[in-house]
Amino acid sequence: MADPNGSVTQSALANRSTPDLATQVSIIRASPTIVDALKKLTQLIETARHGLEDPRPLEVLIQNRASDPLPAYMAIAALAHVRTARAADLLIRLLSDHDPTIRHYAAEAIGRRRPLMQALDPLLEIRDEGGFGTMMAELTLESWLRDTPELAWRRGGTLSERLLWLSEQPPTGPRSQSASGSKRIAQVLMQGRVDAGLTAAASGDGGGLITLQVGLTRELGAREDIDEAYLVTRAVQGDAPVFGESVESVGPGGFISRLDFGPAEYLTRNEMWAYRAELERELETFLIEKGPFQAIHLRFADVGTFAAARIASRLEIPVVFTLAPDPHSVIATAESTGDLTRANFGEWEAREHFLFRARMVEHMVENADRLVLLPRARQRQQFLELMNVDVDASDRFEVIAEGVDFEVTETASAQVVASNKGGTTPRVVAELTELVRALPASRHNLPLLLTAGRLSPVKGLDRLVEAWAGDQRVNKEFNLVIVGGNLDNPSSEETSVLDSIQAAAQAQPGLVLLGGRSHREVALVMATAQLGIAGIIGPNGVYISGSAKEEFGLAIVEAMGAGLPVIVPRVGGPATYVDHEFTGYLADTLDIEDLRRGISWAAGARGSEIRAYAGRRLVKAGYSLSAMASDLAALYTKEKQGASVS
């Protein structure tokens, strides 16, 4: 990845007038919010890196962490750059701390020093813990063993086969791959189950981005200015055979390539951290064998982006990163509701790894060759407030809207129209019809209040269900249909969300769980919500999203394309394309009453042909996959056209 000439984050502000460690520690402890504290981490690290500081102010943060663990975790990140014996001794002690998060961050931090024999055994113990700790310990062990191969015999013992494998040098490939005239593009997507037919996009922790990236790979591969486009994901055995295949075509020049690493079964995003080393080795081998590549496009603060960015740096493959204020906006929202506090931050951090992921995103901002922004209201202000990033300060930032396949929407509508006229009824429409028919007769011929997506806490399904179930007028006016999730074999996260849905429903009639469906089936359900099924499902339904925020909202765009009025988060991308109280309602989705106000508005607007036409026209004209692919293809080649990469 390129090294920008000018930083656009807080590190640009670090200079000789930066406060000393003791002063910065006081400022961090007094920060009014978690996000405000996180924004001070880069400056804290800069002070530790460039000064000959006494680490005792950092020790104080670590020792006094019982009621406020966040500064302690930040202190470890800074401690990695304090080059004194006292700092090294403290890091060694922290490797055996009772708090696993402390151990994990200390394991990664100590890897920034020369190998320390006293640290080896604790690192090996952390490596054996599994999960996130395995990755953090292995990052250090891998670095030390490759730089100092004699470390094993100096320790006086033997290394396991696993550690010997880690000590091997990574595969080597051509330097400066982009300089070869290559027109190959790689996207990395490790979450969910990915296939050309999008048969499992809404189960597990997949979602709309699977639909987007498969379609985008097809569009990019078909372009004359792109030779080949690859969507690189993980092979999953034990489900449908296609998910275990090493390669699958999505169209001319477009391919899904699946890497085989870790256990055979499905892994969630959080479970994948432990297999970073295998992922990195497999991905690097793939990029060398299929390369050279013009660019690699990354999108998430996850293990796939972490591994791919490291490889891209070694192989000098230009990186395009789609930037969202995540996890920063998630933290801010959870803190605003009271769910996340300074006192319980440790519990959240152990599960979500907020600090590590926030630092990863900031690294991508500093080092990616190009940064893609999604359209969103108050773009510059939000990035400044949440991340100290000025998106107007560099020409590396470019706003590109995501797109949908409008042809799928039109085909689905035509199929439902034909079915209502006596033609063949698509299977998912028949199943939905039977589920509604099984409801009490008083629920027949009601319109649908529809939502679609993965069963994740961030989707706010419990609030959405509460808004519907807790208001007799709303409950009597709509049946609520939730599309998404694996109902037969749910993950632990899906089980938790299903429990919260049932609790919020309060046994009210009219709730239909349709489970995860393919992209084309979701389009058919949206068409059914709009057109209805005579005597069973009323026409002119409504689409609703209960998410606290949506970075863009592909399902929302597709629902508008189907002609449905939409109730959507006012935070994030939807505000840039939803005309409030015309094509949709921009709601405070954390407020149950505002969700109900949105439903009340939609109940009056749902029969408007003018509104439905405006939504369809907007989607068809402005949010197509082909337009998105065209914008991205130009971005991938922009540097070659002479644009600055400041």
Q: What is the mean pLDDT of the chain?
A: 89
DSSP for 10-32? GGGG-STTPPPHHHHHHHHHT-S
pLDDT of the residue at 238 = 83
Measure the CA–CA gap between 515 and 201, rounded to whole angstroms: 11
pLDDT tens track for 601-641:
999 999 999 999 999 999 998 899 999 999 999 999 875 43
pLDDT tens track for 547-579:
887 888 889 999 999 999 999 999 888 999 999
pLDDT tens track for 183-222:
899 999 998 899 998 888 767 677 778 889 999 999 999 9
Q: Which residue has the higher pLDDT, 173 or 534?
A: 534
- Give the distance between the most distant pair of CA atoms in the chain: 81
Q: Return the number of other C-beta atoms located less than 10 Å from residue 485's C-beta.
A: 27
pLDDT of the residue at 16 = 42
Beta bridge mates, 566? 543, 584
Owner of token pair 């609030």? 463
Mapped onto helix, strand or coil, the DSSP state of residue 550 is strand
- Whether residue 66 is predicted with pLDDT greater than 80 in this model: the reply is yes
Q: Return the number of other C-beta atoms located less than 10 Å from residue 158's C-beta.
A: 10
Measure the CA–CA gap between 82 and 66, rounded to whole angstroms: 24
Mapped onto helix, strand or coil, the DSSP state of residue 572 is strand
DSSP code at position 188: E
Cβ atoms of 373 and 379 within 8 Å: the answer is yes
pLDDT tens track for 500-532:
999 999 888 999 999 988 889 999 999 999 999
Closest-CA residue to 33 (of 380, 337, 460): 337
Closest-CA residue to 306 (of 250, 252, 360): 360
- Whether residue 2 is predicted with pLDDT greater than 60 in this model: the reply is no
Measure the CA–CA gap between 92 and 120, rounded to whole angstroms: 9
Measure the CA–CA gap between 158 and 236, rounded to whole angstroms: 34
Q: Which residue has the higher pLDDT, 418 or 198?
A: 418
pLDDT of the residue at 13 = 40
Owner of token pair 């060398």? 288
Cβ atoms of 572 and 549 within 8 Å: the answer is yes
pLDDT of the residue at 10 = 43
